[in-house]
Chain A
Amino acid sequence: MVRAVRLYAIVGAVAVAGITAACKDDTRTITQTVFRDTGRVVFRDTGTRRVDTVRFGEFRIFNQVERLGAPLFAEVLLEKRDHGFHDAGVPSTDSVNFVDKVIKFITTVAGRDAAYAKTVADALVPDMIVAQLDKAPNTAGYLGQILVPATNYGGRKLSDDAVDLSLMVVFGNALGNNNNVSPGLVMDNVPSDSPFRMTFPYLAVPNTAALMAAR
Chain B
Amino acid sequence: MKARVTRVGRVAAGLAAAGVVATIAIVGGRLVASDHQQTVLTELNPRMDITDVYVFPGGDNNASTDRVVLAMITSSPLTPAQTAGARFDHNLLYQFKIDNSTPLDGVEDLVIQVTFDSATGNSRLVNVRGPVAPPTRMDVEGTPLPRPGSASIILRNAAIPSIIARPTDQAVTVTNAAGDIRIFAGATDDPFFVDLEQFFRILPDRKPVSGPLAALPETQNATKFRGPAPVFDDTRGAPRNFVAGVNALSIVIELPESLLTPGANKTIGVWGTISR
In the complex, which residues of chain B have a beta carbon less than 8 angstroms from the beta carbon of A136? 65
When the two chains form their complex, are residues A215 and B118 in contact, meaning their CB atoms are under 8 A apart? no
| B170 contact from A2, A156, A158, Cβ within 8 A | A2
| Complexed CA–CA distance, A163 and B191 (Å) | 12
> What residue in chain B is nearest A90 (Cβ atoms)?
B148
With A5-B166, A7-B165 as known contacts, state yes or no: A133 contacts B81, CB within 8 Å: no
Q: Could you tell me which B residues sit within 8 Å of A by CB distance?
A: 4-5, 7-8, 27, 32-35, 38-39, 41-42, 48-65, 68-69, 71-73, 80-81, 83, 90-91, 93, 99, 104-108, 115-119, 122-123, 125, 127, 148-154, 156, 158-159, 161-167, 170-172, 174-177, 182, 184, 187-195, 198-199, 202-203, 205-206, 223-228, 231-233, 239-241, 243-247, 250, 252, 254, 257, 260-261, 266-276
Q: Which of A23-68 contact B (CB under 8 A)?
A: 27-28, 30, 32, 34, 36, 39, 43, 45, 50, 52-68
A173 within 8 A of B: no
In the complex, which residues of chain B have a beta carbon less than 8 angstroms from the beta carbon of A188? 194-195, 198-199, 225-226, 239
Q: Could you tell me which A residues sit within 8 Å of B by CB distance?
A: 2-3, 5-14, 27-28, 30, 32, 34, 36, 39, 43, 45, 50, 52-69, 71-72, 74-76, 79-80, 83-84, 87-95, 109, 126-134, 136-138, 140, 145, 153, 155-159, 161-163, 167, 182-185, 187-196, 198-209, 211-212, 215
When the two chains form their complex, are residues B194 and A63 in contact, meaning their CB atoms are under 8 A apart? no
| Complexed CA–CA distance, A209 and B245 (Å) | 9
| Complexed CA–CA distance, A13 and B50 (Å) | 32
When the two chains form their complex, are residues B56 and A156 in contact, meaning their CB atoms are under 8 A apart? yes
When the two chains form their complex, are residues B271 and A128 in contact, meaning their CB atoms are under 8 A apart? yes
With A69-B270, A71-B34, A90-B148 as known contacts, state yes or no: A50 contacts B41, CB within 8 Å: no
With A5-B166, A137-B63 as known contacts, state yes or no: A54 contacts B38, CB within 8 Å: no
**What's the least CB distance linking B121 to chain A, in Å?**
11
With A64-B273, A156-B56, A157-B56 as known contacts, state yes or no: A59 contacts B153, CB within 8 Å: yes
| Complexed CA–CA distance, A68 and B152 (Å) | 16
**Which of the listed residues A6, A34, A61, A93 has the most CB atoms from chain B within 10 Å of its own CB?**
A61
6 closest cross-chain pairs (CB), A and B: A184-B224, A91-B106, A128-B269, A137-B57, A62-B275, A126-B106
In the complex, which residues of chain B have a beta carbon less than 8 angstroms from the beta carbon of A159? 191
In the complex, which residues of chain B have a beta carbon less than 8 angstroms from the beta carbon of A67? 50, 150, 271-273
**What's the least CB distance linking A198 to chain B, in Å?**
5
